[in-house]
Structure 1
């Protein structure tokens, strides 16, 4: 039994949702290795600006190619506007955002390759569906689902761009080191840029009202929420003063620390004479050096 392309697109959307959940499990355990967490130990790395342009380009080029080859579907206002929402985001990510980066860290080659593969996969999925197979009623642009989704998409994109602006201007020229961002949505959430993008693609999924848009939104949430948690932990560690952080030499397990404290207390206790360790002996009496002790005669002497 052969699959039609429409059935293939539905199957790819389901695969994207599964990959999103699997990726979230991996990121929760191992974290991400690009951006601020990039390490110089990687042998092959791609410069930050070049990596952003090349990895985001398929999500821009493939939908534009579909626009050139599309049939009557893109002559309908809902299809054209929904695909334009997708293209606008990736036009900004490909042609504007990379050239605003200030000294970004190189991207490890494996991470770069995975990002390229995802953008090819998702660029084909979204572009092909909206340009060939998505059918909407004539009044879809006034439907509450589209209106709500479009407002969320627009608000999320504005939040994302504004948060990126705050991050770019976080340090003055010549400053280095990590700084906690302030202002805008950063007063309420740690990773405001990721929050904005999650809201943006949730609105896109609602506006498209499709399994293709929903799977993309889910994948975005799985990846960006995991990275946001990683940012939050890093921000908490950066907010703790260095004097209050436990050093590695003193970071003993609780049982070892308890044993060491007991040993310290025991070693400081004064040692009593051996005769006083008899549990049956009477407690020692106080001595008066001014008078000799009174010796009581025993019954035999009486």
Structure 2
């Protein structure tokens, strides 16, 4: 039997885990008012029987009388909610002491992620819209805390051991053959990852397509590069460079130019890659035919005419531009 590690707001998780979950939902603003999370943690510890470490992210301060100031906790929540294998929302909403207004926003951001379980107790108020949205997007809905946690652990199963940057890849993506095929090739070392979207359409609500932004470090030098990795169905993944970090360093231009000549940028599929592939350093300049028209450009008009016509227009007053 594995162990459970609870990570409170502002704390850092261990460097490796078998599974992770985020315990989201409203928190009493009065630090002396009891929170529902201690009961949830007790049920999670009792329910986890996986072979490794289950990390549980709790967006409350370990000492609720001394929370972190400012938006530090919000940044922490966004960071770990983005990578958790499952996000559990328990919403025992009651007015006015437990309104859960921030919970509405957090749930809305993640409802279509394919990684959410929603718990709504029968006496919760103003949750009809949450329930309807969950049903429309295949989110499991339960009416007791025990059942909600059970649904989370059922999705996690035995999890999968991950360490370092691999922790940034939720089980939803990690378990796909397409991701594992891309990962096994190891064209570079993965240094971070962020799921941009996952498509789980009805009626099965199974994962049909996904996209991730990843940071990779080529094996022959130390610069990190940002790439977009996508997959549709059981097909091969496609990856393409979308940024070059060493453009923004103080490295001499000659050295950067030499690197950029190593490999021309292109979108490449795993199945068709040459064995010696390395991440492209930058996107090639697009031709005018491939570039979307500017906002003030008309079809068939050259850029000079568009610029001259735009120059004749009066600019917005400073008060309006400042307020945008």
Higher helix proportion (structure 1 or 2): 1
Q: Which is greater in Rg?
A: 1
Same-fold call, TM > 0.5? no
Place the TM-score, normalised by the shorter chain, in its bin.
Answer: under 0.3
